[in-house]
Amino acid sequence: MILLRRLLGDVLRRQRQRQGRTLREVSSSARVSLGYLSEVERGQKEASSELLAAICDALELRMSELMREVSDELALAELAASAASDAVPAPMRPMLNPVRVTSVTHRPDEHVTIKAPAEAVDVVAA
């Protein structure tokens, strides 16, 4: 099971380490106990939105940036979990019917974009 609090903690720790800051510095700036911040970073405590806002302020990080990075990691974790539990081998998946596009203007330089339904697209995690 993918735990959001663990992904959130991993991202917060990476952001802090990128800045070369210690837990003590960030906890002091955010006015959060060092032990609690450590537990949040290790994914052991669920941080409230107020606490996340204080930590983001201390890290000079927008909460939207934090959430975007967490969202990206969550998407990758979901893909990996889905690929690991996928019982049908890739070659056995049904193929889409070919689509033929005829130019409306009959110009050779015309570009056409076709959007496939989301369920018809296979995503492979590298």
CA dist 33 and 24 (Å) reads 9
> How many angstroms separate the most distant Cα atoms in the chain?
69
With left for phi above 0 and alpha for psi between -120 and 50, is residue 106 left, alpha or beta? left
pLDDT tier at 103, thresholds 50, 70, 90 = low
* Amino acid identity for residue 78 in this structure: E
* Rounded mean pLDDT, 41-54: 96
* Rounded mean pLDDT, 93-104: 52
- 2-84 topology per CATH: 434 Repressor (Amino-terminal Domain) (1.10.260)
Q: How far is CA 43 from CA 1, 30, 91, 99, 106, in A?
A: 13, 18, 38, 47, 59
Domains of the chain: which residue ranges? 2-84
* Amino acid identity for residue 74 in this structure: L
Q: Hunting for tokens 């510095």 — which residue is that?
A: 25
Q: What is the pLDDT of residue 47?
A: 93
pLDDT tier at 102, thresholds 50, 70, 90 = low
Q: Kindly report which listed range (11-25, 35-49, 81-95) carries the lowest average pLDDT score.
A: 81-95
pTM of the predicted structure, to 2 decimals = 0.66
Six-digit token pair at 66?
Answer: 């934090």
Residue range 87-97, pLDDT digits in tens: 555 554 555 55
* Rounded mean pLDDT, 112-119: 52
> Which residues contact residue 111 at a Cβ distance below 8 angstroms, ignoring those fewer than 6 apart?
none
- Mean of pLDDT over the chain: 81
